[in-house]
Amino acid sequence: MTTSTEFLSDSPAATEAFAARWAQNLTPDAVLLLTGDLGAGKTTFIRGLAHGLGIAEPIRSPTFTLMHEYVIQQPPHLQGTPFFHIDLYRIETPAQLATLGLDEILERGGVVAIEWAERLRMANVSLRATHVYEVALTHSGETHRTVRIVEQCAG
């Protein structure tokens, strides 16, 4: 079964609020594959997601560091599990992707949000997790963005 959600956002704040609300549906061992052009709102969505997970630290794009790790504070069923924010923009080869150790990260059972998930497809990497969501952001005007979330079917 495939479940999908679509949201038309009219501001960065609306994108964040939508993501924060949507985050309440998450369960352990979830991966979000974010796709979309430069400035489509991937980091903005993740900022809202982190807020919804009770993470108080500022969310900065891990463009150079590739990965940031946080501890989820809410909802209760996720409390204490890790949240990873990964940005694959600078990844150019499958070998670089391998050094990230995505499999080990997934084994930790938290929530993993990956910007520029297109890079995984390019390297033919598919990630296994209990829930895998494709989050596609598209420009729908200067201050409008369409957020489409589709859950990948398991197995």
Asked if 68 touches Mg ion (CB under 5 A), the answer is: no
Residue with tokens 């999908």: 4
Binding-site member from 25, 61, 96, 140 for Mg ion (CB under 5 A): 61
Quick one: 49 exposed, middle or buried, by C-beta within 10 A (0-12, 13-18, 19+)? buried
Query: Segment contacting ligand ATP (CB under 6 A): 31-39, 65-73, 97-105, 122-130?
Result: 31-39
Mention every residue, 6+ apart, whose C-beta is less than 8 A from residue 70.
50, 53, 55, 57, 82, 83, 84, 85
Residue 25 contact among Mg ion, ligand ATP, none, beta carbon within 5 to 8 Å by kind: none
Measured over the CA atoms of residue 32, residue 37, residue 39 and residue 41, the dihedral's sign is negative
The residue among 61 and 152 lying less far from ligand ATP, judged by its C-beta, is: 61
**From the centroid of its chain, how far is CA 125?**
16
Length of the chain: 155
Asked if 42 touches ligand ATP (CB under 6 A), the answer is: yes
CA distances from 130 to 106, 113, 116 (A): 10, 14, 21
The residue among 29 and 43 lying less far from ligand ATP, judged by its C-beta, is: 43
The residue among 15 and 29 lying less far from ligand ATP, judged by its C-beta, is: 15
Asked if 52 touches ligand ATP (CB under 6 A), the answer is: no
Distance CA 113, CA 68 (A): 10
Which residues within the stretch 68-87 sit at the binding site for ligand ATP (CB under 6 A)? none
Which residues within the stretch 24-43 sit at the binding site for Mg ion (CB under 5 A)? 42-43
Which residues within the stretch 107-126 sit at the binding site for Mg ion (CB under 5 A)? 115
Which residues within the stretch 124-143 sit at the binding site for ligand ATP (CB under 6 A)? 143
- What residue ranges bind ligand ATP (CB under 6 A)? 9-12, 14-15, 36, 38-44, 61, 115, 143-145
